[in-house]
Amino acid sequence: MKLKDYKFIEEHYNRGMTHTFKDKDDIEITIGRHLGGIHWSFKNTNNDVLSVIFHTGSYGHEQGKFEIMSSWRNPVKGDSVKGWLTFGEVQKFINELKRRMK
C-alpha cells in the first residue's frame, strides 16, 4: 500500500463508512470500524481471508500494535490468531495471502 491508500482509509474511517474494493493484485479489501477501532479484511481469489484489527480489545493495542486472524491452516505456527504485530509484520501476512493464490 502507498501513502495515498492510507489517506483513503483514514478518510473512510473518519466518516464511519465501510468500504470494499479490489487492489491491483485482485485482493478484495474491506475497511470499517470495529469496537471503537478499525478492521481490515483481505480476501484472495481462493477465498483465503486475513482479518486485521486494532481496537481496545485487540492483542497489542496498548503498544499501538495489530492483531490478525487468518482462515488458512497453520499460517502462524499452529494458531490462526496472532497479536502484538507491527504494520510491517502484518504486511508479510498480506504478502503471504497474495502468494497463496498463485
**Would the pLDDT of 15 be above 90?**
no
At 73 the pLDDT is 56
Measured distance CA(57)–CA(3) in Å, rounded:
27
**Would the pLDDT of 51 be above 90?**
yes
Residue 11's φ and ψ, nearest 5 degrees, are -60, -45
pLDDT digits (tens, 9 = 90+) for 84-99: 999 899 988 888 888 8
Give the three-class secondary structure for 37. Answer: strand
Q: Looking at the DSSP assignment, which residues form a beta bridge with residue 29?
A: 21, 42
Cell numbers 497463496: residue: 100
CB atoms closer than 10 angstroms to residue 43: 20
Question: Which grid cell sits at 71?
Answer: 482462515
How far is C-alpha 25 from the geometric centre of its chain's CA atoms? 15
Measured distance CA(37)–CA(96) in Å, rounded:
25
At 1 the pLDDT is 46
- The verdict on pTM exceeding 0.85 is no
At 18 the pLDDT is 80
